[in-house]
């Protein structure tokens, strides 16, 4: 990750930002994760605000789909590239369901996706060692 290109001077640590981006890369179209879940998978469960900070600096949304990260209450959080209205439009176009302005979580599907992502991340970490 080129910190200067991404506009990041010091968010938390560049390794944490890299971990956040690697987690977010795994979120498939039509799915979402919460800032807290991303923080947990990136290795720091309490750093959900730092996740938002890192994603706010993301300019490569094709590779790092930051619009797929939402608040744990289903609220959209923020979106630096057009605001929450644009974020909602993108998520709707990808098949994410809403109840009003909040994402409607499919709990069983969400749990399965979370477990799979956890396994994939730990498997790829082990392969790099």
Going by their DSSP bridges, the two strands 102-103 and 98-99 should be labelled as: antiparallel
pLDDT above 90 covers what percent of the chain?
A: 58
Is 54 in contact with 80 (CB distance < 8 Å)? no
- Segment 96-125 shows an average pLDDT of 73
Placement of tokens 């910190």 in the chain: 3
User: Taking 90 as the threshold, does the pLDDT of residue 70 lie above it?
Assistant: yes
Active site residues: 66
Spatial CA neighbour of 61 closest among 13, 6, 104, 110? 6
- pTM exceeds cut of 0.85: no
Q: What's the mean pLDDT in 33-53?
A: 92
Section 77-103 average pLDDT:
94
| Long-range pairs of 121-127 with CB within 8 A, sequence gap ≥ 24 | 121/22, 121/23, 121/26, 121/41, 124/22
Rounded mean pLDDT, 34-53 = 92
| CB distance 74 to 108 below 8 Å | no
Q: pLDDT tier at 129 (50, 70, 90 boundaries)?
A: low
pLDDT band at 15 (very low <50, low <70, confident <90, very high): confident
């Amino acid at each position: 990750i080129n910190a200067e290109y991404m506009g990041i001077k010091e968010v938390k640590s560049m390794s944490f930002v890299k971990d956040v981006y690697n987690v977010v890369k795994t979120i498939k179209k039509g799915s979402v994760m919460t800032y807290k879940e991303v923080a947990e998978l990136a290795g720091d469960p309490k750093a959900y605000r730092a996740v938002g900070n890192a994603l706010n600096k993301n300019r490569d949304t094709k590779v790092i789909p930051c619009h797929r990260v939402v608040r744990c209450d289903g609220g959209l959080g923020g979106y630096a590239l057009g605001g929450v209205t644009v974020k909602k439009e993108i998520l709707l176009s990808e098949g994410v369901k809403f109840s009003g302005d909040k994402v409607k979580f499919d709990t069983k599907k969400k749990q399965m996706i979370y477990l799979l992502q956890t396994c994939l991340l730990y498997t790829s970490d082990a392969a790099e060692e």
